[in-house]
Amino acid sequence: MKTIDDFNFKDKKALIRVDFNVPLNEKFEVTDTNRIEAAKPTIIKVLEDGGSAVLMSHLGRPKGQNNPDLSLKHIVSKVSEIIGVSVKFVLDCVGKTAEDAVAALKPGEVLLLENLRFYAEEEKGDESFAKQLSALGDIFVNDAFGTAHRAHASTTIVAQFFTENKCFGYLLAKEIDAIEKVMQTGEKPVLAILGGAKVSSKITIIENILDKVDHLIVGGGMTYTFIKAQGGKVGDSICEDDKMELALDILKQAEEKGVKVHIPVDVIAANDFANDADTQISPVNEIPDGWQGLDAGPKTLENFKEVILQAKTILWNGPVGVFEMENFSKGTIAVGNFIDEATKNGAFSLVGGGDSVAAVKQFGFENKVSYVSTGGGAMLESLEGKTLPGIAAIIE
């Protein structure tokens, strides 16, 4: 696995695929700079070697159309501020305009290309478009984990034009390393905490990780499909009736593989899906009609704490309650606190997948876990055991 440390960029132009798909407000100001900050070490390494950096990214979903609202020109000043270098910008990402801008680039300079997705060829993985991109650099560096699961021109196809001169940036290398720690090399006991609303969205992950983990905590809305499948009463809680057999099958597989599954024993139930609803603590298998489970209960959290504090490797994917509502966020916050404590005691903890990452950021756990993944879909596909095209293209 070649990383950016295997190259010296002196007098070289690094063509770097970054993920600057950042949120903008109505004034076109960047409201979350995490992705830009995450790419900084890779860009700085190139500049300190005496090379120049050509950055390519997408922003939003312009669907192959030139949409001024989604121009990367809006983020140039923020990127300059974060990297500490005045970033140049060009209003295209291929063709003469882009080529001239790259040719004029001096060592120590950074150029940001226009939104790749202004061309439909980007998402189609078009080879001739990828070849045009490849003309803009001497070494290809992929540092965009968030798009590594897409076989797009700039993430995957472009790599074939750099037979030897291609590598992972620091961010992508860290992502690969973190997933490997959970899935292959992690110290035992290995624990996966899977939450979120639906079993259906986590089936392939569960089936793939049962061979890798010692303990599995099931939380969030998924809980009720498992409980109902075992004959429990779940009231009006979210439940996938058509996945009940599957839930029983997962429990059977876990038992055969010696994996201990921990399911909530009590919940905070509410008489309405609202923050100000009436609540009661209810045994998870005796939720009254007209009530729905919206958060983990106190006994459940005690049980979870014991399992989490014993773990040496922890994967957290998905909240254990409706954390977006303050009154039903306590379970997710508690789990975050337990993982924080386990991490302080020497465990490796990886948080990945949209909602759990959002929860970790919202409640200030970002620096209390070992690693927070930057890629939602890419992270989930890695956990499903799939080889991501953007990663395979560099390794090949």
Which residue positions form the known binding site for (2R)-3-phosphoglycerate?
35, 117, 150
Q: Return binding residues for ATP.
A: 202, 293, 324, 353-356
Helix, strand and coil in the chain, % to nearest 5: 45, 15, 40
- Pick the closest to residue 37 from 88, 92, 89, 75 (CA basis): 75
Q: Which long-range contacts (CB under 8 A, 24 or more apart) does 182-187 make?
A: 182/212, 182/313, 182/315, 182/348, 182/350, 182/383, 183/209, 183/212, 183/382, 183/383, 183/385, 184/212, 186/212, 186/312, 186/313, 186/348, 187/312, 187/313, 187/348
Binding site for substrate, by residue number, is 19-21, 35, 58-61, 117, 150
| Catalytic annotation, pick one of 35, 166, 181, 330 | 35
Concerning whether 354 is annotated as a catalytic residue, the answer is yes
Contact 373/145 with Cβ under 8 angstroms? yes
Half-sphere exposure (Cβ direction) of 301: Cα atoms closer than 13 Å:
21
- State the catalytic residue, choosing from 354, 361, 385, 386: 354
Report the distance separating Cα 144 and Cα 141, nearest Å.
9
Residue at token pair 């478009």: 129
| Dihedral sign of CA atoms 192, 193, 199, 200 in order | negative
Nearest-5° Cα angle at 223, 309 to 301: 30
Calculate the dihedral angle through the C-alpha atoms of 171, 172, 173, 177, rounding to the nearest 10 degrees: 100
Q: Which candidate in 124, 198, 233, 312 is catalytic?
A: 198
Is 377 among the residues known to form the active site?
yes
Residue located via tokens 């202004």: 118
35 flagged as catalytic: yes
| Nearest by Cα to 70 from 82, 84, 60 | 60
| DSSP character at residue 288 | P
Binding residues: 19-21, 35, 58-61, 117, 150, 202, 293, 324, 353-356
198 catalytic per annotation:
yes
Closest CA to 230 of 215, 217, 246: 246
Q: Which of 64, 108, 232, 377 is catalytic?
A: 377
Q: Catalytic residues, which ones? A: 35, 198, 354, 377
